[in-house]
Structure 1
Amino acid sequence: MSLAGKVEAERFTQGTPARIAVPVADLCATPGKGRDRQLIWGETITVFEERDGFAFVQADKDGYVGYLRASDIADPRPATHRVSTPATHLYETESFKSADLAHLSFGARVTVTAERQKMWETPDGYIPKKHLRPLDRSFTDPATVAQLFFGVPYLWGGNSILGIDCSGLVQAALTACDIPCPGDSDLQRTALGQELSPDAPRQRGDLYWWKGHIGMLVDADTLLHANAHHMAVAYEPIDAAILRIKAQGDGEVISRKRL
């Protein structure tokens, strides 16, 4: 993989494969400042440069580029499972009473090396069996995945159960269903779904866009979205949301699509 033709630089390299080795890592446009997005445990990246404690990388899942702390990455390791509950813990031993080593968000990718009675063993510790799902068993309903994040605090650029924004929520939901999805709402509008007419019946999973915002229907009358009004992932009647968003100065719905 190379960034030639995508970003400006004096020289280009093919890059080196790596993975995220912390629960949540900020991906920034400038080293150490201004989070654009986040990457979570086990996600794969390509590293193009390391300098002064930071690495310039590209996320394999969506092509997003930016700077991470070099200490947040490690050598690649093939993942076998993903966290399929809102969150879990990585334990030091097979016992849930042992030290918890890390808090892992939904979607975190791990490498299972052995099966124990109640936990899976990984190179980094033990995880309850009920909290993991094999990577080859994808989810089938993005709205079901999105609902796992209900009540999660709103966080600009967030991509984890600790905090998430509107486009991060949609990306988490679609990625878990093996549907490719960009990281930003404007790119999602270009890449996702088929446009619906204003009078088409609404249904679960429909996506609604405003300028700089996206949400997903969980039924014909209810929108689920991470938003700064509630400062959380919240349910809101879709008609009320349309009126409120317009009244606060953010305009009309600009697109409505079905996956």
Structure 2
Amino acid sequence: MTDRRLTPANGRVAALHLAGQVAAEKYVAGTAMQIATPVTDLCAAPEGARDRQLLLGADVTVFEDRDGWSFLQATDNYVGYVRSADLGQVQPVSHFVATMGTHAYSAEDFKSPQAQALPFGTRVVVRDERRRFFETNVGFVPKSHLRSLDRPFADPTTVAQLHFGVPYLWGGNSTRGIDCSGLVAAALMACDIACPADSDLQRAGLGAPFDDAPRRGDLIFWEGHVGMMVDADTLLHANAHHMATVYEPLGKAILRISAQGDGPVLVQKRL
């Protein structure tokens, strides 16, 4: 059985490479586009439930634009629908927001009107460098808040810690709201490490199992949940119990998650 999250086919259209493998009225190569709004929901169906989110500057391949919704696939292979109005033409993004968030201003002045609020990980085109700001495709952004794409972070755990206190949001992928797998994906992708979007896919595709004491950066998986170790004893995870990204002693988290009926740890993975 195909996984609809990873299969670019909806019955009407399918990716060209799926011809002969899945049923569709037509098979198309798709059109390269980019997310053109700070955060947009990637939904299971038009007007449907949010599966996850995509951020400004993310590359996508669009297979169908119908009734204001675009059926597409993201670069991590995740498939779904976003509002067509949230898409734009491909631009040569060069930098990403490397702080918890920032503002793009309408002029080279922090007192000027805000053009957009940008969460961590959004990608922009730097067009000019000024004394304190970069001029970008979405406005003037403080230079200290952007990082060149060719200078990824080195430690995923440091990136995850930037998200401490971010409110929990099912399917969230930004510092406006994030869930457990979104936190792991944000941390790894900022370090230029490929990462699937959902915890079951991360459990299957990331790292190698280990049996010794946890280390910084290790991933702990439950059924439907994942967290990242900050040190040998402390787990950082976005969870609905605290409705936030929090630090929690691993032993306490294991007992609490089991007591609430979500089972034991399934596997520990080391990247």
What's the TM-score, normalizing by structure 1? 0.96
Q: Which residue of structure 2 aligns with residue 243 of structure 1?
A: 255
% of aligned pairs identical?
59
Query: CA-to-partner distance for each residue in 1:93-112, whole Å, 9 max, x for gaps?
Result: 00011111111111100000
Tell whether 2:27 aligns with 1:15: no
User: What is residue 160 of structure 2 aligned with on the other side?
Assistant: 146
For 1:186 and 1:9, the matched residues in 2 are separated by 27
CA distance in 2, matches of 1:21, 1:208: 34
Please say if 1:219 is aligned against 2:231: yes
Q: Distance in 2 between matches of 1:201 and 1:249?
A: 25
> In structure 2, what is the equivalent of residue 53 of structure 1?
68
Decide whether aligned partners of structure 1 residues 235 and 38 sit closer, same or farther in structure 2, where only a CA change above 3 A counts. Answer: same
> What residue is the counterpart of 1:34 in the other structure?
49
Q: Could you tell me whether the CA contact under 8 Å between 1:90 and 1:104 is conserved in 2?
A: yes
2:269 corresponds to 1:257: yes
Between the aligned partners of 1:190 and 1:49, the Cα distance in structure 2 is 30
Closer/same/farther in 2, CA of residues 3 and 63 from structure 1, 3 Å limit = farther
Instruction: Name the CA distance, whole Å, in 1 between partners of 2:85 and 2:105.
Output: 21
Structure 1 counterpart SS, 2:257? helix
Q: Following superposition of structure 1 onto structure 2, how do residues 180-219 of structure 1 map, counting pairs within 5 Å?
A: 180-197=194-211, 200-219=212-231
Q: Per-residue displacement from partner, 1:228-253 (whole Å, max 9, x unpaired)?
A: 00000010000000011011111100
| Cα distance in 2 for residues equivalent to 1:2 and 1:240 | 49
Question: In the aligned structure 1, how far is the partner of 2:149 from the partner of 2:165?
Answer: 26
Cα distance in 1, alignment partners of residues 164 and 23 from structure 2:
39
Report the CA distance shift for 1:194/1:51 in structure 2 as closer, same or farther (over 3 A). same
1:88 to 2:102 alignment: yes
Cα root mean square deviation, aligned: 1.2
What is the CA distance between 1:9 and its match in structure 2?
2.6
Q: CA deviation at 1:123?
A: 2.3
Q: Distance in 2 between matches of 1:190 and 1:123?
A: 37
CA–CA distance in structure 2, aligned partners of residues 101 and 142 of structure 1: 30
TM-score (norm 2): 0.92
Q: Which residue of 1 aligns with 2:178?
A: 164
Give 1:3 shift.
5.8
| Secondary structure at the counterpart of residue 159 of structure 2 | helix
CA distance, structure 1, for counterparts of residue 224 and residue 142 of structure 2:
38
Aligned equivalents of 1:155, 1:190: Cα separation in 2: 23
CA contact (8 A) 1:185 1:213 kept: yes
Structure 2 residue 86 is matched with structure 1 residue 100: no
Question: How far apart, in 2, do the equivalents of 1:76 and 1:247 lie?
Answer: 48
Question: 1:124: Cα distance to partner?
Answer: 2.2
Q: Which residue of 1 aligns with 2:138?
A: 124
C-alpha distance 141-156 of structure 1, shift in aligned 2 (>3 A): same
2-structure distance, mates of 1:180, 1:169 = 14
Any unmatched runs of 5+ in structure 1?
none
Name the CA distance, whole Å, in 2 between partners of 1:234 and 1:110. 29
Alpha-carbon separation, structure 2, partners of 1:134 and 1:140: 13
- Verify the 8 A CA contact 2:116 2:138 in the aligned structure 1: no
Structure 2 residue ranges without an equivalent (≥5)? 1-14
SS state at 1:240 partner = helix
Structure 2 residue aligned with 1:113, among 111, 124, 127? 127
